[in-house]
Structure formats: structure tokens, C-alpha cells
Structure 1
Amino acid sequence: MCGIVGVIANQPAAPILLASLKRLEYRGYDSAGMATLEGGVLDRRRAEGKLSALAALLLDQPLRGTTGIGHTRWATHGSPSEANAHPHRSGPVAVVHNGIIENYLELKRDLVDAGYSFESQTDTEVIATLCASMLARGLDCEDAAAATIARLRGAYALCFVFDGRPDLLICARRGSPLVLGFGEGENFVGSDAIALAPLTDRICYLEEGDWAVLTRSDVRIHDAAGNPVTRDVQTVALETIVADKGQHRHYMAKEIHEQPSVIARALGAWISEDRTRIACAAENVDWARAPRLTIVACGTAYYAAHVAKVWMERVARIPVEIEIASEFRYREPPLPDRGVTMVVSQSGETADTLAALRYAQSRGQITLGLVNVTTSTIAREADVILPIHAGPEIGVASTKAFTAMVFCLSALAVLIARKRGEIGLDEEHGYVELLSTVPRLMSETIALEPQFEALAHDIARSSDTLFLGRGLMYPLALEGALKLKEITYIHAEGYAAGEIKHGPIALVDELTPIIALAPFDGLFDKLASNLREVMGRKGRVALIGDAEASRDLAEEVWRRVEMPAVDPLIAPYIYAVAVQFIAYHAAVAKGTDVDQPRNLAKSVTVE
């Protein structure tokens, strides 16, 4: 989740870029860099480490010029180093980038065959080199950038500058946010409005697939098809920008939309430099001899653990027990010799989860802490710390932290599978490639937001709602029900669909919406049978499923939203987006306090 800023200014660019990057440093602090144009000539400075290292470098080696781009990095490809820091340059073009390019290896092979060479391990250098190759074919800067963007597959935010064009910035977004800022004879771009707060109060948010051409006097925006479009320009108060909800009404909405970038960031932290295997601190645990993994968590983290159980047992073939933290230590459960206990907590301060960690340590367990806050108590006390890299989450109802937890647990399952000899390097590489598609697929699901909003308006009028799923969708049914309860105060329950006839079907009537999470997987036929039992009793089924699922049940269900088709193992990521949007828009329709729902706190630090 890197930070991007670009300026065409009326004053020296470097101090502006540095100040803007400081406001974005929470997005990444592995390295930082900037490039400016002086007399139309590109120059660049980069430094490993926090932004202060770049600031010190600029004191000794200043950059001139009034146009430039800057970047603060959290590594997604390649280790933190000056060589891997942004901006990346190839000949006459320099680029900064947030996100992950899925097809960068394919593009890189084509460019190497064409005679181009590379200095870094990053996917971003491939973007710069591809654009340089387009320029070498005789395309002008705008056409070269457009042709480059058209070749990219993944989730990204980009900004280009070009030798000889001190009046030009080109930027694009797909799955990662970008905001434009408008001044008098100057224009700006940033990955967060907070980066532009001191520069302008007139901003415009690019929509999914947009790309824009900025000059000193003009901004032209194109949609994903290349058509010229206009986007609303807002005049906002400085304090509104600093609050940094972006174009969203609530932090929760912003955090749902951030998820492709968050998963790209986690991907970079959990995958080796050559992008072939999982690499993390848990590598040193003796997984081959571990008889069992115990996962302890509360609330949303507990449901993330249920997704992990499927991954762990199916991929790594290790038995997994999941425990509710508030019950765990009071049962005084026996724990096996050489056993591993992992506690999961966004804050790292959850009182029950911390107590569970200490109980496991008292029983001689190896302990892992999966947390978002790396300075937390759990992070300090666990034997191994595994950060989820979600960034600050303000909304009480967890969204991006949930999917980041699921991602890290999935990646850990792949690592454990290799350490236990259940998969080879080729299979591990296959799982890495599968996980690399998640940011793009989440972005495609976010584009379906208007359909979820329409469904949510119907849900908001109900007093009870049921969520049904099978396999990996069962934990998502639990999570969907929790989200709806948390922020709408509508009573909701999640069930494994096969259990519906063992009691819950008594709740079915013509007034109760039933949200079915229905990817077309090996369990779909069973789920369809369960749903027909419900509909035969006047149940109102809202089908959330892919095209195959929709085709089979389209004529029978009450509502449906067609989801992207995905491998069943990664379906939880996109169905998480679906249930988050349903809960969010139902809460907005009801007028509840979305970010601070009644009776709840972000971190539960008492038992």
C-alpha cells in the first residue's frame, strides 16, 4: 500500500513532494524516492529506509525543477533497497506505482527478448521499460502511456513523467485509489487526498479504470475504454481532507475500497523476491513435527481462522483446532507436545486473546501472533510475529483487516505445506500465482458496488436476515451476519447451508431475506438443493454467485448479483467484499453510525 504523489507546480517540486510523502509515510517506509525535471531533463534520488533517509540525501544532492513524482514504498516485488525503490526509470520515462502487476513476468520476458535489460527485482521497472519501448516505436508520450496501461493486468495506481516534457504528468488507476488536485497554473495527483491537503482544496477522484493527462493548465480524464470523461470536482475544507475519508462518507467504505491495495501490500511482504514461494518468520518453526495447530481468536478474527482451517487442512494436511479466546483458557484444554498455537488479533491488544497466548506459553507451546499492530503486546510476547500489513483501520467493523488476516493465513498454509513435504516448489509457485490474482479480483468485485447497494436497501427493511454458505463460504456466512449485526442492528445469523433443515428452516418465511453465498464449486449442487428447500417454503433468496451459479438458479431466486468466477480457494476474498458492501449500504439506508456503531469499540482490551 505505497504512497504516490505527483506535481506540476509554480515552485520547486522537491520540497512539495517531500512534505506530501511525509503525510503518506504510513503507507510504506521500506524506501522512498522522487524524480523531477530541470530544464526538461529527468533526475532522480532514492534511498532505502524511512523518508528521513531521502530527506538527508536531498540536502546533499538537491533536485531542481517544478515538475516531479514521489513515492514511499512498502515492498511488493523485491526486497527493500535503493535499486528496488521508486521512481523506476527506463530511458526517457520514470514511473511510480502502487499495487501489483500480475503479468509482469510475461511482459518482462518479451522485453528481454526485444533487447531490454533490468536493474531491479520489481514489477514497476517493467512498466517503465514497456512505456520506453512504446516511445521507441515512435508513439508520443500520451499514446505510449495509454498503450502501456492497456497491457497491464492487475491492481495498480501509476504516475509517469517524461524527459523533455516538464509540463506533463500521466496517471492511471485500477484497484488502487488516485485523487487529482487543481490549482492556479499547477495541478497535482496523490494516492490519498491527505497528500494534497496543503496544496489545494479542489479535488477530483478518478474512477476505476480511469487515466488522466495533467499539464500546467489542463487536466483531461479518460475512462477505461479511452473515452474522454468528466469527473466531479469537489471543493473541500482542509480539515475534511486531513480526516482522509477520501470521496467516501465513512471510513468503512474507504477501507472496503482499499482492500486490493492492502492485499497487494501483504503479498509483497509474504512472497519471496523471485515470486516463487512464501517467505516469512514462521519458516523457522518445525512444522514437520508439529502434531497440530491451534488458532485462537475473537469476533472477525475467529471467522478468518475458520477460512484458514480449510486452507491448512486441505493444502498443508495439518490438523487445526479453532478456539474462541474468551473460552479457551478457562477450559484448560490439553495441548500436544511440540504443538503450535497461533493467536489472531487486529489490534494485538485483545485481552482474551492475549490471555490465551500466555496460557499456551505456560503449556510449552510454540506461539505465533498474527497482528496488524506490530508494537502491540501480543507482537512483543509471541515467539513469532506475523504482521498482516493492513495499515490503520478506523472503522470499528473490520473489513480490510479481515481480508488481510485471511490472506496471511492462506499464505502460511502454503508455507506449512512445503515444510511438511505436502507440496513441491512447482505447486508452491502455483499457489503464489493464485494468490497474486486476488487484488485484481477484489477490484472487479468492488466495481459491483451499485448492485450490492440495491440489494442492501431491501435488506435494510428487514428485522431478520439469514446468510447461508457451504465449505469456505460457511465462514463468510458467519462473517456476513456479524457485519450486518454490528452496524445495522438487524438480527442476522450465518449457517452452513446443509444445517438449514436441522432447525433454522423454521425461521424461513416470506419476510426474511436469505443471502446465499454460492460460487459454482464442488458443493454448489448441494447448496442449490438446500436453497430450493428454502424457496419451497416462501423463502426470499438473494443469490451471490458467479455466472454458472446464476444460470442454474436465476429463474427461482428473489435477487441475484453475479460475481467473478474464481478458484474456490480464493473465493473468500471476493465474497468478503460482497457481504461488507451489503452490511455497509444497509447501515447507510437505516441511518446508523457506520464507523462507530453503538456498544462497540475497535479494540476490546478488557475481558
Structure 2
Amino acid sequence: MCGIVAAIGRASVVDILLDGLAHLEYRGYDSAGLALIDGEGRIARARVQGRVAQLRRLVAEEGLDGQVGIAHTRWATHGAPSERNAHPHVSGTVAVVHNGIIENFAALRARLEAEGYVFTSETDTEVIAHLVASKRRAGAPLFAAVQAAMRELEGAFAIAVLDAAVPGEVVVARRGSPLVLGLGEEGFYAASDVSALVAHTRRVVYLEEGDCARLTLEGVQIVDESGETVERPVRLTHVTADAVQLAGYRHYMQKEIFEQPEAVADTLEAVAGGARLTPALFGPEAEKTFAAIDRVLILGCGTSFHAGMVGRYWLEEYAGLPTTVEIASEYRYRVSVPDAKTLVVAISQSGETADTLAALRHAQGRGMTQTLAICNVPESAIVRTARLAFLTRAGPEIGVASTKAFTTQLTALALLALTLAKQRGRLPEAVEANRLDALRRLPAALGRVLQLEPQIEQWAQRFAERQHALFLGRGTHWPIALEGALKLKEISYIHAEGYPAGELKHGPLALVDREMPVVAVAPRDDLLEKLKSNLQEVRARGAELFVFAEDGSGVGGEEGVHAIVVPSHDAMLAPILHVVPLQLLAYHVALVKGTDVDKPRNLAKSVTVE
């Protein structure tokens, strides 16, 4: 979950490294550092416990400069956040930055210490530096030394390595963690995410699993896991420099909340105009794959898991397919019953989520080969691993608390449920037309929901001093309650729980008193009257109610019950609309509390370690 940048250029690369880190800081921000080969052929290193802005000041104060360098922003795994645990780590003339976890680091460390190497940090990364240095000491060229070291490393990693004794090159490699190369006019670059590179080039190469690459001013050489020289396609990324700027918003989270109408519209582009639902939306093999399945398994973590929970309701109601939703980090560690006729759907914003990728591969290894990725990143590992893919087209999501990724995942799942319903003869032509019309009107409906922000901002003041909150929903809105609670605790640090409202009497009601605000989502559906009864139980215990009520629901207008009216839309798609006010509530409560909205404590965006 760390971020790495590497660069070799015809001029100074300091700003390239630091600007790249600033765009990767969503991946980790407890410490940062860089190493350069300076004008005298020595490694110049700067490290801080803290943010990239502090590193930038330190680099300026020390006057560090160079045309070859590597840099890192950290989310701690091995060793507490500190300057000595910050990357880059150095062994002699070798410096290394690393994203991932080296699982056999303890054995490697013991061996290297026995050989005389001295460790100065608690990290697993330092073994890479000493291991490469040992290969160099034995006479291997840098490129070969990194490849040899890779063969001894177990775990997931993306690394960048330089050696002051070889000042004209940087070597990078990946296994299990993403790494992209940038091909520029004035140099060559590597980074954990394309967002770090788009200010300097849009021509990129995505490294495959096990690849190792050598960057010089003459170009890029790539070898695969077997050591054979390979060519990887050069692509023109659709991510622009403007897409990763704040553009006048106070935080990335706020910007991304307000980008949801456009993100959903882009996700629906394939069914714009007069286009109809077709399996081809999910890939050329989708029609054959969909015909071969009789149930669905959805895998995801965090917000993606909540999206899958909503998808389960839709797939069972509209497509008639039995559906199971599993937390990916748990699925592969329990004894389950494989079924070759199951469509395995892996949901991930980044497509590099370690637990979800491992769960997908576990399912495939058990004979469940009918697989679909729902993902925001076209070149990601999960997309490449699955047989079918649907790209959510949310654009870059920088804020750690996911917003537009969630609504676009829900949009994709709605399309999947309706497409499968049609293929199974459960979606008459007239109903298909109505559903497509509702989907096409969804971006405009989201725009109307965003206009509720001033009212929600007023509510935020009442939450700031509370320590706990309860979120309630029923049916498809129970996962929305879970997502609302997750957002609040992620960025405001208020303990929040999401529950199906019918479960109140089975335990949670014991927590309800005047100090426990209760947030409810009240769409105008078949469960509305039952939800109203549940809310009366809450009011009878003295709790203050905050209800997002669909127009015409009749909720509100009494003492202790605050209601904001959410515009009506198609009942199936209501969860996509109702989550947006919960995102805004969490955002504004966090503002009142003064927390770091985009970089909440202990969290990072792309969870690439188990």
C-alpha cells in the first residue's frame, strides 16, 4: 500500500519524484523519502517521518539534486513509522524502495546478518537492499543482480533499485504489486500508479507479473520471470493531469462525490442512446459464459463488499440467480463447496486489492473458471486474471474513502443483473426499455441529490460531539446503511454501526439512548411501513433520528425526527441515490471535527498487501 516513483532524465528529476509522490500519497503517508545519485556519483538520501510536503522542504534545505533517483511514500507494515524505517533503504552503493510485503524476510535477514550485513531498520524491505548488494559483490551487473534477488524473494512486491556504481540506470521489478513505466521525451519513469506520471508523459507500459525492467537514457529493456527479453505494449493512458488535480474543491473526497454524475454517465456509455442490453457489455466471451452458469459468487472487501451485497438483491430478484457474497479476505481461508457453474464476480476499485485477487485465483484453482472482474483500472491484475471484465470508468479516485467507485460499481452490478435477467428470459422488452430509461436518467438524478449538500452540512454540526452513531436500512438499503457507517468512521473517527432495521430488537436497541444519533435511509418501497415501526422503537428510547426520506414517504415532521427529502427515482436504482447523502454527511462531519479527510489515520487507498 506504499507508493514508489523512479526516474532517470536528461535534467534534474527531483521535482518529478516529489510531484509523483504527492500524487501517490493516498497510498500511504506515515513517512517519505528519496535517494538520488548526485553529481559526485554518490547516493544522496533524505527521509522524514511525515508527509511528502515535509520531505520536499528537507530536500530543498539540503540542496539535493540528481538526474537518477527513486522515491517512496509509506504505509507501515514492518516497523513503526519513523525516519529509520522510512525508505529508501541503503546497502553500500545500493538503494531500494519497495511496495508490498516480503514474507520470507526473517530467514533472509538471518542469512544476510550471518554474512556480515548490518541492519538499521525493522523493515522487511532492507533485506532487498542487502540481497541485491550481495549479488553485486559477487560480480553480477545491477540488472542481473535484481533478477537474481527476485528469485529469492517470497511475497508481493514492486521495487525500484539504483546503484551509485552504475549511475546511468534504474532497475524496477514487480510481482503481486502494480508498476507502470512512463516513456517521456526527456527521460524514463516508473511508478505504482499512472497518476504519478501523467504530468510528464501519457505513453505508458504496464509491467506484467514477474517482469523486471532496466531504465536508461537510451530506453527501456524488459525481461519476464524466466529472464527472456520481452516487448510490452505501449499505451496512451486516458488519465490526464487535470483529472488528478483538486480543481477548486477543498478535498479530493468532495471532488469525487461531485464527480459521480459524470462517472456514472461514463460507466453507462455503452447503453447510451438506443443501445440495448447485451452480454457483449461484459466481454466477447460473456454470452457463452453467462449461458453456462446457474449461480453467482461475489468477492470484495470493504466498500466493494457492500456493493456486492446490493448486487445480490438485484441478481436474485431480477435474474433469478442464487447469489452469495463473500468478504474476499475470509473466503479462501474457509472450506467451501466449489461449483463449476458459478459466475465468480471480483469487485475492486484498483484491481490490485491483494485479498480479492487471491480469492479470485483461489476460486479459479478450485475449478470455478467462469469469472468476471468489475474494476476501475483496465490494466490491473484482477482484470487480467478474470475471463470477463466490466470497467466502471470512474476515473482516478484519490480520496481514501471510496465514493464514486462505489456508485459506479453499483451501476455495473445493475447492468449485470438486468443483462442476466434478459438472457434468462426474465426481462420483457417493455421492462428492459423502462429500466434502461431509468439508468440513463440516473446521472441527472444524482445531480439533484447533490443539491442537498447545504441541508446535510447543517446536520453535521450535531454529530461532531457524538462518539457513536447507528445507521439503519432495510432490503437493498441495509448495505447502504453499512456503507454510510463505514464512511463516517473512516474519516471522522466516530464509531458507527450499520444494521438492518429489523434487527434492532435482537440486540442493538440496547445501545440506543439520547446520546446515540440514529441515521436511517427511508425509500418509498414495500418495506417503508416496517421501517417506520422500527424508527418509532428508536424514538421511544429517546434517540434523535436523522432520516434521508424519499419524496412522498411521509417520514419526518415530529419532534426529534429530522428529515431530508431525497428526490424519487426508479425503485431498483434508489440505493445508488441514497448513498450520496451519507457520503456528504460523513464528509461534513469530518470537516467539523477537523480530521484529515483524504488521508485518514491508519488507512491507505490501494490495499495491495494481505
Q: State how far apart, in whole Å, the 1-side matches of 2:522 and 2:556 are.
A: 10
Could you tell me whether the CA contact under 8 Å between 2:550 and 2:566 is conserved in 1?
yes
| Deviation for aligned residue 1:277 | 5.7
| Deviation for aligned residue 1:273 | 5.5
Which residue number in structure 1 is paired with residue 585 of structure 2?
582
Q: 1:241 to 1:370 in 2, by over 3 A?
A: closer
Q: How is 1:85-234 mapped onto 2 (pairs within 5 angstroms)?
A: none
Which residue number in structure 2 is paired with residue 477 of structure 1?
481
**2:541 matches 1:560:** no
**2:531 matches 1:527:** yes
Could you tell me whether the CA contact under 8 Å between 2:525 and 2:571 is conserved in 1?
yes
What CA deviation, in whole Å up to 9, does each residue of 1:44-101 have, x standing for no partner? Answer: xxxxxxxxxxxxxxxxxxxxxxxxxxxxxxxxxxxxxxxxxxxxxxxxxxxxxxxxxx
| Deviation for aligned residue 1:539 | 1.1
**2:251 matches 1:284:** no
Could you tell me whether the CA contact under 8 Å between 1:276 and 1:429 is conserved in 2?
no
**2:503 matches 1:502:** no
Instruction: Specify the code of the residue in structure 2 equivalent to 1:361.
Output: Q
Q: State how far apart, in whole Å, the 2-side matches of 1:345 and 1:286 are.
A: 21
Q: State how far apart, in whole Å, the 2-side matches of 1:296 and 1:312 are.
A: 14
Which residue number in structure 1 is paired with residue 406 of structure 2?
402
| Deviation for aligned residue 1:276 | 6.2
| Deviation for aligned residue 1:272 | 7.7
Which residue number in structure 2 is paired with residue 413 of structure 1?
417
**2:365 matches 1:362:** yes
Q: How is 1:290-329 mapped onto 2 (pairs within 5 angstroms)?
A: 290-329=293-332
- State TM-score, norm by structure 1: 0.59
| Deviation for aligned residue 1:247 | 2.3
Q: State how far apart, in whole Å, the 1-side matches of 2:315 and 2:588 are.
A: 33
**2:343 matches 1:340:** yes
| Deviation for aligned residue 1:546 | 2.0
Instruction: Specify the code of the residue in structure 2 equivalent to 1:603.
Output: S
Which residue number in structure 2 is paired with residue 349 of structure 1?
352
Instruction: Specify the code of the residue in structure 1 equivalent to 2:556.
Output: L
Which residue number in structure 2 is paired with residue 512 of structure 1?
516
Q: State how far apart, in whole Å, the 1-side matches of 2:436 and 2:242 are.
A: 37
Comparing 244-253 and 420-429, the one that deviates more: 420-429
| Deviation for aligned residue 1:290 | 1.4
Q: How is 1:239-250 mapped onto 2 (pairs within 5 angstroms)?
A: 244-250=245-251
Q: How is 1:418-437 mapped onto 2 (pairs within 5 angstroms)?
A: 418-437=422-441
Q: State how far apart, in whole Å, the 2-side matches of 1:353 and 1:535 are.
A: 40
Secondary structure at the counterpart of residue 562 of structure 1: strand
Q: State how far apart, in whole Å, the 2-side matches of 1:278 and 1:556 are.
A: 51
**2:258 matches 1:257:** yes
What CA deviation, in whole Å up to 9, does each residue of 1:574-606 have, x standing for no partner? Answer: 111110000000001100000010111111111
Q: State how far apart, in whole Å, the 1-side matches of 2:335 and 2:575 are.
A: 32
Secondary structure at the counterpart of residue 572 of structure 2: helix
| Deviation for aligned residue 1:560 | 1.4
Instruction: Specify the code of the residue in structure 1 equivalent to 2:399.
Output: G
Question: Where does the alignment leave 5 or more consecutive residues of structure 1 unmatched?
Answer: 1-197, 199-239
Q: State how far apart, in whole Å, the 2-side matches of 1:271 and 1:531 are.
A: 40
Which residue number in structure 1 is paired with residue 541 of structure 2?
537
What CA deviation, in whole Å up to 9, does each residue of 1:393-425 have, x standing for no partner? Answer: 000000000000000010110000011111133
Comparing 419-428 and 580-589, the one that deviates more: 419-428
Secondary structure at the counterpart of residue 254 of structure 1: helix
Q: State how far apart, in whole Å, the 2-side matches of 1:339 and 1:260 are.
A: 33
Which residue number in structure 2 is paired with residue 598 of structure 1?
601
Q: 1:269 to 1:533 in 2, by over 3 A?
A: same
Q: State how far apart, in whole Å, the 2-side matches of 1:250 and 1:410 are.
A: 29
Q: State how far apart, in whole Å, the 1-side matches of 2:482 and 2:422 are.
A: 30
Which residue number in structure 2 is paired with residue 205 of structure 1?
none
| Deviation for aligned residue 1:428 | 1.7
Q: How is 1:265-280 mapped onto 2 (pairs within 5 angstroms)?
A: 265-270=266-271, 274-275=275-276, 279-280=280-281
Could you tell me whether the CA contact under 8 Å between 1:271 and 1:279 is conserved in 2?
no
- State TM-score, norm by structure 2: 0.58
Q: 1:422 to 1:280 in 2, by over 3 A?
A: same
Q: State how far apart, in whole Å, the 1-side matches of 2:418 and 2:504 are.
A: 33
What CA deviation, in whole Å up to 9, does each residue of 1:237-282 have, x standing for no partner? Answer: xxx9896212210000000000000111111035586356675125
Could you tell me whether the CA contact under 8 Å between 1:520 and 1:548 is conserved in 2?
yes
Which residue number in structure 2 is paired with residue 112 of structure 1?
none
Secondary structure at the counterpart of residue 264 of structure 1: helix
Q: State how far apart, in whole Å, the 2-side matches of 1:285 and 1:604 are.
A: 33
| Deviation for aligned residue 1:426 | 2.7
Question: Where does the alignment leave 5 or more consecutive residues of structure 2 unmatched?
Answer: 1-198, 200-240
| Deviation for aligned residue 1:557 | 4.0
Percent identity of paired positions between Structure 1 and Structure 2: 46
| Deviation for aligned residue 1:459 | 1.3
Q: State how far apart, in whole Å, the 2-side matches of 1:398 and 1:266 are.
A: 16
Which residue number in structure 2 is paired with residue 459 of structure 1?
463
Q: 1:383 to 1:272 in 2, by over 3 A?
A: farther
Q: 1:540 to 1:451 in 2, by over 3 A?
A: same
Which residue number in structure 2 is paired with residue 493 of structure 1?
497
| Deviation for aligned residue 1:334 | 1.0
| Deviation for aligned residue 1:430 | 1.8
| Deviation for aligned residue 1:573 | 1.4
| Deviation for aligned residue 1:441 | 0.8
Secondary structure at the counterpart of residue 284 of structure 1: helix
Secondary structure at the counterpart of residue 330 of structure 1: coil
Q: 1:415 to 1:588 in 2, by over 3 A?
A: same
Secondary structure at the counterpart of residue 332 of structure 2: helix
Q: 1:262 to 1:532 in 2, by over 3 A?
A: same
Which residue number in structure 1 is paired with residue 37 of structure 2?
none
Could you tell me whether the CA contact under 8 Å between 2:243 and 2:395 is conserved in 1?
no
Instruction: Specify the code of the residue in structure 1 equivalent to 2:246.
Output: K
Which residue number in structure 1 is paired with residue 163 of structure 2?
none
Secondary structure at the counterpart of residue 486 of structure 1: helix
Which residue number in structure 1 is paired with residue 444 of structure 2?
440
Q: State how far apart, in whole Å, the 2-side matches of 1:351 and 1:407 are.
A: 24
Q: 1:434 to 1:301 in 2, by over 3 A?
A: same
Q: 1:354 to 1:383 in 2, by over 3 A?
A: same
Could you tell me whether the CA contact under 8 Å between 1:315 and 1:422 is conserved in 2?
yes
Q: 1:285 to 1:242 in 2, by over 3 A?
A: closer
Could you tell me whether the CA contact under 8 Å between 2:271 and 2:436 is conserved in 1?
no
Could you tell me whether the CA contact under 8 Å between 1:444 and 1:564 is conserved in 2?
yes
Secondary structure at the counterpart of residue 430 of structure 2: helix
Could you tell me whether the CA contact under 8 Å between 1:277 and 1:425 is conserved in 2?
no
Q: State how far apart, in whole Å, the 2-side matches of 1:299 and 1:479 are.
A: 8
What CA deviation, in whole Å up to 9, does each residue of 1:316-361 have, x standing for no partner? Answer: 1101000000100111311213211111110000111011111111
Q: State how far apart, in whole Å, the 2-side matches of 1:350 and 1:441 are.
A: 31
Could you tell me whether the CA contact under 8 Å between 2:556 and 2:563 is conserved in 1?
no
Which of structure 1's runs of 4+ aligned residues deviate more than 4 A?
240-243, 270-273, 275-279
Could you tell me whether the CA contact under 8 Å between 1:287 and 1:420 is conserved in 2?
no
CA RMSD of aligned residues (A): 2.0
Q: 1:367 to 1:533 in 2, by over 3 A?
A: same
